[in-house]
Amino acid sequence: MKPSFVLVTTERFEEQVVRLPEAVYNQLKTRLAFLEADPRHRSLNAHEVKGAFGDFGGKIFEAYVTDKYRMTWEYGPSKGAITLRNVDNHDECLRNP
């Protein structure tokens, strides 16, 4: 897959990644490749987090990493960029997307 987007990570995202179980981390790498190529890729099951707005004024989206883990992201800070905000188990991830 040819990347269509540049992925930008927040410090928070990076801190969460190192805490992931190895199996979840391996799934995350696959999901990030899908996100980079096409944020609407079917396996991501990406959708808007209702009522949440990102640092760049737009919507925050949630995508599946596994059945129990999610990641959140937003478009920006520039055209063609996606900022990865959080990755954690479902409830924790969406408590503060």
- Count structural domains, the chain: 1
In a domain, 44, yes or no: yes
Which tops the pLDDT comparison, 94 or 1? 94
What local confidence, expressed as pLDDT, does residue 92 receive? Answer: 77
Structure confidence by residue, pLDDT tens digits, 20-44: 999 999 999 999 999 999 999 999 9
One-letter-per-residue 3-state SS of the chain = CCCCCEEEECHHHHHHHCCCCHHHHHHHHHHHHHHHHCCCCHHHCCEEEEEEECCCCCEEEEEECCCCEEEEEEECCCCCEEEEEEEEEHHHHHHCC
Domain that holds residue 66: 6-77+85-95
Q: Would the pLDDT of 1 be above 70?
A: no
The reply to whether 1 falls in a domain is: no
Q: What pLDDT is attached to residue 11?
A: 96
94 vs 56, higher pLDDT: 56
Q: Any idea what the CATH number is for the domain that residue 55 is in?
A: 3.30.2310.20
Residues 4-22 pLDDT 10s: 899 999 999 999 999 999 9
- The predicted-structure confidence for 69-95, as pLDDT tens digits, reads as follows 999 999 999 999 999 999 998 777 777
Question: pTM for the full model?
Answer: 0.91
